[in-house]
Amino acid sequence: MNTDTLFRPFSLKGMELRNRIVMAPMTRSMAPEGIPGQPQVDYYRRRAAANVGLILTEGTVVDRPASRNLPGIPFFHGDKAMAGWTDVAAAVHEAGSKIAPQIWHTGSIRGGKWEPETEVESPSGLIGPNDPRGHPMNEADIADTIAAFASSAKQARDAGFDAVEVHGAHGYLIDQFFWSGTNQRDDSWNGPTIKERSRFAAEIVKAIRTAVGPDFPLILRVSQWKQQDYTARLTTTPDEMTDWLMPLVEAGVDMLHCSQRRFWEPEFPELDGADGLNFAGWAKKLTGAATISVGSVGLNSDFGGAFVGEGSQTSPLDQLITRMERDEFDLIAVGRALLSDAQWVQKICDGHMEDLHGFKIEDLQTLT
């Protein structure tokens, strides 16, 4: 198998990547009191030293009450946390890679039995359709949240990061505004179409762009599926997808990180068949933005098994190579395979495919 297509360089607004492989953001929840330290420095440096092109950090939270749903999720605000993240960025750069934090707000989503000290917030006080939790956000809450995202993005730039990724997927706060099942507001933050429900995300993007300037790359992670409902779809046609994503690109997004559970599945099979464009492929075609694809790369089962204690075995990369060779999307994010094997990218680069191994569930418990 010729894997050269994975190792082509890529450039975005001055961010020069040595290859097309991205470390996907994966919640680790191992930052005591929200402060990253030497374990995080070493964890990210190991992947950078093994030839990962771009590292997207685990989700880190903006400065809002109840913005995280697990106690070990790191902050991306405050002097102590930012000192730790500055060390992480420096270590990744020293090892030859680029890095972007993923900044987020978990909204009303639960992370288990743990509860934050203050009540959770969401567009309409819902965790899912007809499932109340927390309080609906008022105008001041919304304005403060937008400002918090912009502040964290500026701190990323100031700390030496190469880009910033905003988490707008998987049923967390921004996605709760997108989804009609959780956005039941009767004001201008909602509307009958996905275009109106995209306003909150667009305002965050605009505020970030103002804070970081025109040349700092801004990535937005989006998904159709939700943790609350894996079968949920925000859009069912290309026209609807354009109405969803194009206003976000026009607001200042440079790259869309299009999350799906299995990257090889076509987004609209009824239009172009079983080998049709995936989510990232359609997003690139419709908006002209650069895109990242993701979803069970190199593994034979999706991440859902991890929630019930199941690992995954290796899977061939043939379909990935085919899609990358036709430039269906620009970058490919790898999650669990890189979590279990820091050397995953280097092994592929060196042609040692036989040395790849699958995802072990116990690796979720360590920062190795």
Which residue's entry shows tokens 């429900």?
197
CB 25 within 8 A of CB 102: yes
Three-class DSSP category at 27 = coil
Cα–Cα dist 335/359, whole Å: 10
Cα–Cα dist 209/249, whole Å: 11
CB 89 within 8 A of CB 57: no
CB 88 within 8 A of CB 36: yes
Furthest-apart CA atoms within the chain: distance in Å: 57
For CA atoms 278, 280, 284, 290, give the dihedral sign. negative
Report which secondary-structure segment, H or E, holds 215: none
259 backbone dihedrals φ, ψ, rounded to 5°: -85, 125
Q: Within its chain, how far is the Cα of 5 from the centroid?
A: 23
CB 149 within 8 A of CB 253: no
Q: Which residues are catalytic?
A: 172
Three-class DSSP category at 125 = coil
Alpha helices, H only, the chain: 38-49, 79-94, 139-158, 173-178, 194-197, 199-212, 238-251, 269-272, 279-287, 318-325, 336-340, 344-349
Cβ count within 10 A of residue 293: 28
Q: Which residues pair with 329 in a beta bridge?
A: none
Three-class DSSP category at 41 = helix
Beta-carbon-side half-sphere exposure of residue 129 (alpha carbons within 13 Å)? 7
